[in-house]
Structure 1
Amino acid sequence: MNLTVLDRNNVEHQDYIRRSLMECYQDDPRAAKSFPEARAQCGFMNGKNYIEDFSRIITIGQEKIGFFLVGRDGAGQPWELGFLWITESKRKQGLGAEALRLIEEEVRKSDEKKLITVPHSKRSPVNGVPGFKPAVLHFFVKRGYTVQARAAGAYHVSPWNFNYDSDKTTARNQKNEQDGCRLVQTKINDDGYEAIRSQAEDLCRREEKAGWEAFFREDYTRREREYICAVLHGEEVAAVCAYSVEPCSPGIWGWGPQWGPLLTDSRYRGRGLAGWVITESLKRQFALGVQEVTLWTGADSNNSRMYERYGFRLSVPWFFLEKELVQ
């Protein structure tokens, strides 16, 4: 088994990954439609998501038999195994296990020894909590990976199932306006955008939302979340979310327009500011022609139940797995 550096500008490599993803997601109409045709300009195909990249095509002789997408956002960050694929005819020969061993060997050479992965599961949720394909879970767990307790999932909403209590929301928003709040929607390069983006980044740190500040970093928003919706109290950000209109790609995935994260300053909670941000930002996305919005959140969390009230529904369940690669 040999590894070839994945060249995202190589048409042959692009076509091979598209065909593999079609095979992988042939029973999942959403993903099968989204990945192969629309992702050539974003996500794993253009390599924008990884500062350090160890993605490879797996070959035996001249035959391509699989690939993996592995990378991280820079020194000190954990490595992400975004995708590990072995073609159907070559499975149960230990090739996936050997590929994983080579990935782990590379990770051990770096300053950060943690490898995380988020395998896809097509199984339906049970009592709101998604299940895993037993074989997928077993493959990683028996090799020392642990499953984080909290499930996560891709929630989707479209103009046709987006809903909220208009009268109640309007009355609440008017009350907040009387109390000195105002809602602002801004886009990269607009006047005032940078001040709000910077405040949002700081708010994530103050509220101890580990990792959330990355969604509001200048380099990230420029490629993934070009719009920000915020409620300001005076000139201070009280609630905020980021979203996109063009298809973008968290990690290596090529999902369509994204929404979130949403954060409210703890001093302003209980006033309905989150609902104000949710309704107005989604209305803006749909007015700009977005047909479906993707939100990533815990599948068994209080937040997910809040989003469901606005029409979001869990469509792609995930669990996070990780392994500390000690010497």
Structure 2
Amino acid sequence: MESQTIITILITGIIVSKIIIGFLLYELIRKNRILKREKVKLLGTNLALEEQSDQIKKYNEELKASELFKIKVLSIASHDLRTPFVSMNMLLNTVDLSLMSKLDMEQVLLQLGSEISHSQNMLDEVLLWAESQLRDNLENKETFNISQQIQHVLLLFQKDLMSNNISLEESLPKDVYLYMSRDIFSFVVRNIVSNAVKFCKYAGKITLGVSEMNGDEFLLYIENEGINMPESTVEKLNNRNSWDHRKAVNGTGAGLGVSLCKDLLQRVGGNIYFENISDVGTIVYISFPMNTLMTQDHEVINKENSNFMNGFQEQN
């Protein structure tokens, strides 16, 4: 009887032990699963923190670049805008203007007029850029005809083209419209055409047209016959500073217009690309997002708009 009782106790003890061990194993497995889930969450949190850290670093770099750009714009503009005032002050402080010969006076006034014109253009550029910096979404968008707007810009250069015997050819589609700031578009085209005229050889040719549509970009090109730029200058224009070009060419000026063009275009999703054409000159591509491209009926042009695309390809 006693042995039977002992056996019963032992069996009961074994069963209880198994139950306890099973419970402990269950708790261990459950906690292990919880730890794994927490580990996954922790890894996800760490990954999110790393992404946020990378974004913060990127924003800081962009902020530093933006601040550096603004400082350079203001320093360049303040220096160049002072030039005509310094010249005028020197002229007015001359002891006796009547002692200057007519030829000397004409040369001084011609130089002063050139400096004032340059400063006025720069002031317009800086004011437009400053306005764009104050407006986060670049308001004042409107639909306008590309060809007509460029024709208005080209009228500004008729005198320079004639005096340098430069011919101008354009093959722009007549029924294509853009929906963006007209001021920014004219500002960019005017600056690029101005440089094309400035660096075009005497009796050379400037060509304007639309390149084949590339993916999500609409490309306008301006090509001039002149001296090829050094590849290092092209690289700087495309990737870094834009104001080195004029310094490299003639030792004066700051190339501020090109820098502002790139900044304004990048804010609306566009860009500028410079490229040398072997033994010919330079071509500049101005890109605009496809969603800014319109038809005359103000419909957005895209890759699915086969009627326009077929007509565009026939023109080119």
Rg comparison, structure with higher value: 2
Provide TM-score, normalisation by structure 1. 0.21
Higher helix residue share? 2
Provide TM-score, normalisation by structure 2. 0.22
Higher strand residue share? 1
